[in-house]
Amino acid sequence: MIFNYSSYKPSKEEKNLLAKGLNFALPPKILNYGNYFMPFELLYRNIKNLPVNENILERIKVDLKKS
C-alpha cells in the first residue's frame, strides 16, 4: 500500500516501482567477479579437505541455502 502525502501524482510505473519495497535494487552494470566469487572460493578451500561424511554434507547444504 502506498500513501502519497504530496500533490504529486505518480505514474503507473512509479507506483509499481514503489510497490517493490525498500529491498528493491538495480543490479550493478559491471560485476566485480573477484568480490562476487571470493566467498565461494574461500568456502571451497575450507571444505575440500574435509572427510566426506553424510551428516557434514547435509549441514553444509543447509548452511549454503541460508546464505
pTM for the complete prediction?
Answer: 0.35
In a domain, 62, yes or no: yes
Neighbours of 10 (CB within 10 A): 13
In a domain, 18, yes or no: no
In a domain, 39, yes or no: yes
In a domain, 42, yes or no: yes
In a domain, 36, yes or no: yes
In a domain, 11, yes or no: no
Neighbours of 60 (CB within 10 A): 13
Burial 20-53 (b: 16+ CB within 10 A, else e): eeeeeeeeeeeeeeeeeeeeeeeeeeeeeeeeee
Domain encompassing residue 39: 27-66
- Mean pLDDT of the residues in the chain: 82
pLDDT for res 16: 86
In a domain, 20, yes or no: no
For residue 50, which of 58, 39, 38 has the smallest C-alpha distance?
58
The number of domains in the chain is 1
11 pLDDT tier (thresholds 50, 70, 90)? very high
